[in-house]
Amino acid sequence: MAYFDAASAAPLHPVARQALLASLDEGWADPARLHREGRKARMLLDAAREAAAEAVGCRADEVVFTSSGTRAVHRGVAGALAGRRRVGRHLIVSAVEHSSVLHSAEAFEADGGTVTRVPVTRAGAVDPSDYEAALRPDTALACLQSANHEVGTVQPVGEVAEACRAAGVPLLVDAAQSLGWGPVGGDWSLLAASARKWGGPSGVGLLVVRKGVRFAAQGPGDERESGSGDIPAIVAAVASLRAVRAQAAQEAVRLRELTERIRARVPRVVPDVEVVGDAERRLPGIVTFSCLYVDGEALLHELDREDFSVSSGSSCTSSTLTPSHVLKAMGVLSEGNVRVSLPMGAAEEDVERFLTVLPGAVAGVREKLGAPAPETAVQAEALVVDSLGKRCPIPVIELAKVFGKVPVGGTVRVLSDDEAARLDIPAWCEMRGQEYVGEEPADRGTAYTVRRVS
């Protein structure tokens, strides 16, 4: 099995396994106790904190270990907002943040706060000037990921941090995807990360709060770090972070070449594909593409049968009815989405086999989906396609099948009640070089109009 889903969770690093086993005999006691066993546990915890601080580029007393990366984000956002409550109740996030940040923002709104969601380009990056424009006198906190978890685009953290610092607003950086590759640059104020992303145990997160940042820990505990946590897991997490950092520079070059190969070859071997994310400013191991006329969930199952573990940024599947918030914010095709995230050590031959298997898998899914004979009618010189009650990618498939029936200059109106059609029909037009006229409410659902220009 070729595991290509490291952005979700990297395989446990051998160094992490060794450190975990070695520390089980020494780190089981309560580090707050003064007896010998307690002192041994405290020494392990303190050493791990020092090593983590060195990797992040901060002071050891600024580092807090949590039970997960999500917990680190939730604590960081809640604590910073509470600490600056007197300043105001305004929060800034990007539209493509991880769900842990967006859920924190939703909870803040439900409690009476206001949130500005900064848009991104089609490549998935924010414009620093948009963050600067969003800053207000009552802004308590701004959040920005260091790199996107679905498409790999690296964000301009340094420039955004500079704008926030000039306005006296702390910036929390979600560094879950990038910390294994190197420290996060810029004058940020808080940082959160997850050990499972760099090959550490899954039950360890990292929260850094710089000295001078107003922070009021939330919850029943009196300190940001609730108890001592799982000390052997913490030791293993930090050991693996140091290990992957030692390999990062060399491995980044190798993985970047492999992902460049995927980015270049997929559009050549699979028709009707859009490769998404920034082509240059991106993480070394992530490449994401979307396939027209394909159900993403079905494609993932086909690839799993071929022994490839990949994921999808699209939730446009039989289990849900809305597209990925990241792809939606970028304005790119959401259907048939595949994210390949290579772990360190990924084999070149596995990548080549993936590129060999992929065309057949996509073709098989398209054939199985078929294209139900669309109900069409000529109405005021426009061809009407009734796709009501049908989920993506069927509305786009039906549009494509009848599009050749209209003359150049003619239009097709697609009736759909699937939210994903709002994203996928304009994306189809851009890929095909046709004109997307717009949408308007219909008796049921929405009517999307496309004009044939060639």
Long-range pairs of 218-222 with CB within 8 A, sequence gap ≥ 24: 218/75, 218/78, 218/79, 218/82, 219/75
- 3-state SS class at 143: strand
For residues 21 and 157, what is the distance between their CA atoms, to the nearest angstrom?
Answer: 37
392 part of the active site? no
Q: What is the phi/psi pair of residue 2, to 5°?
A: -95, 115
Q: Which residues contact 363 (CB under 8 A, 6 or more apart)?
A: none
Q: What own/partner pairs with CB < 8 Å and gap ≥ 24 does 256-260 have? A: 256/284, 256/285, 258/285, 258/342, 258/346, 258/348, 258/351, 259/284, 259/285, 259/286, 259/287, 259/340, 259/342
Q: Which residues contact 425 (CB under 8 A, 6 or more apart)?
A: 395, 396, 399, 414, 416, 436, 448, 450
Q: One of 58, 316, 392, 429 is an active-site residue; which one?
A: 316
Q: Which of 194, 144, 147, 132 is nearest to 173 (CA)?
A: 144
The pair of three-digit structure tokens given for residue 260, joined into one six-digit string: 């460049």
Positions annotated as catalytic residues are 316
